[in-house]
Amino acid sequence: MEGYKKSGGYAALQKALGLKPAEVLDEVRKSGLRGRGGAGFPTGMKWTFASMDPRRPKYLLCNADEGEPGTFKDKPILEKDPHLLIEGMIISAYALQSEYGYIYLRGEYPSARTILEKAVLEAYASGYIGDNIMGKGFRFHLYIFFGAGAYICGEETALIESLEGKRPQPRIKPPFPVNEGFLSRPTVINNVETFANVPFILKEGAAAYLKIGSPDCPGPKLFSVSGHVKKPGVYELPMGITLREIIYDHCGGISGNGKLKAVIPGGLSTPVLPADKIDCPMDFVSMPRHGSMLGSGGVIVFDDSVDLVKVCLRAMAFFEHESCGKCTPCREGVGWLRSILKRLSEGGGNKGDIELLSEICNNILGKCFCALGDGAAMVTQGFIRHFRDEFEARVR
């Protein structure tokens, strides 16, 4: 707490509490902030929908279930700058007039749990959370909820189901959590990094925020870079920076003696890009035009030693394991993708297997309650599209 305050922490909250809640919401809306969990939905728009619903209490949830493979950018915020998240949540709660907040933290981050619990107690002790925050009559209570190992809890409606003590299976949308969320109340759920952007927006203003990044997609982005690069890690860079710049200017280029072969740009649910397609601006708007997605910004770099059929298999094994089982196309289809990929990977592929994979993908896409199945299907399609010869070499 001391360190955070020394570098200007909680000044943004002070400023926010001097404004009307609607004014705080408006500033976030003007900033153009987009959700940093992976979907990139405009945060101000989400908050506006929630504030239009008159029912109380309103809940504010932080999605700290960072489970997308290749993504580890929320962890430094949780472990090294927890007050940034907490201040961001309190300001958001004020804007939304939300009384109760939960941080849903994944079970695989036990050290973050200890740190967050301590930080929340510090915030209570300093009067930043409680029944009468900074004497302004605003009431907000924050709880930490510890997950137990389930990737699907990163999906917002499954997270809510988990919080409600049920098997975490996604709900169909609409209705959206802003209207029917936790305990059927209006609920705003945002990613850790999204909340972490809020104090800056309040302190420096939306105009200053818009100066960073791209016009359609402003602000800084945390990229977690891993795989065959010389300097893996978490990098804070402006939205719109290219993959090439990330890999070569910041991460030192390819490690070892290998050559770049492929990159997964935004976490394991985003389609792979071959080495000649890394001049794409990394933001939510540009990436779909370049054949993939920004997603969580989890950059995985593959050199030419990597067997991409095996990677595709391992990815499908992951999605199969994590499928909640509700929707037949995902539950059965992803399993079939995995078992066909297994026999391909072992060199025992049957003639027509690649076409079969595509057919199964088409029967999953757009046919399930949530995006897990879609992610798996698009990923398999991406590998086949750009590296078909590797798959064909495995057909007997």
Partner 1 sequence: MTSALAKDIKELVRSCSAKEAALLPALYLAQGKTGCLDDKALELVSDTLLIPRARVRGVASFYDMFRSGPMGRHIIRLCTNVVCMIMGAEKLADMLDRKYGVKPFETSPDSRFSLVIMECIGACGTAPAMLVNDDLHENLSEDRIVEILDNYK
List of residues contacting partner 1 (CB under 8 A): 66-72, 75, 100, 102, 106-111, 141, 143, 145-151, 162-168, 182-183, 224-228, 232-234, 264, 268, 298, 300, 302, 306, 310-311, 314-315, 318, 321-322, 324
**Cα separation of 378 and 362, whole Å?**
9
User: Which CB sits closer to partner 1, 16 or 129?
Assistant: 129
CB of 106 to partner 1, least distance (A): 8
Residue 234 β-bridge partners:
224
Under a CB-based contact definition with an 8 Å cutoff, are residues 170 and 157 in contact? Answer: yes
DSSP track, 260-307: EEEEE-SSTTS--EEGGG---B-STTTGGGGTS--TT-EEEEEETT--
CB of 19 to partner 1, least distance (A): 27
**Cα separation of 197 and 286, whole Å?**
21
CB of 268 to partner 1, least distance (A): 6
User: Which CB sits closer to partner 1, 233 or 253?
Assistant: 233
User: Which CB sits closer to partner 1, 31 or 226?
Assistant: 226
Contacts of 357 (CB under 8 A, 6+ apart): 337, 340, 341, 380, 384
Under a CB-based contact definition with an 8 Å cutoff, are residues 114 and 78 in contact? Answer: no
CB of 163 to partner 1, least distance (A): 6
**Cα separation of 38 and 69, whole Å?**
12
User: Which CB sits closer to partner 1, 169 or 214?
Assistant: 169
User: Which CB sits closer to partner 1, 42 or 145?
Assistant: 145
User: Which CB sits closer to partner 1, 4 or 109?
Assistant: 109
Under a CB-based contact definition with an 8 Å cutoff, are residues 268 and 241 in contact? Answer: no
CB of 151 to partner 1, least distance (A): 6
CB of 26 to partner 1, least distance (A): 29
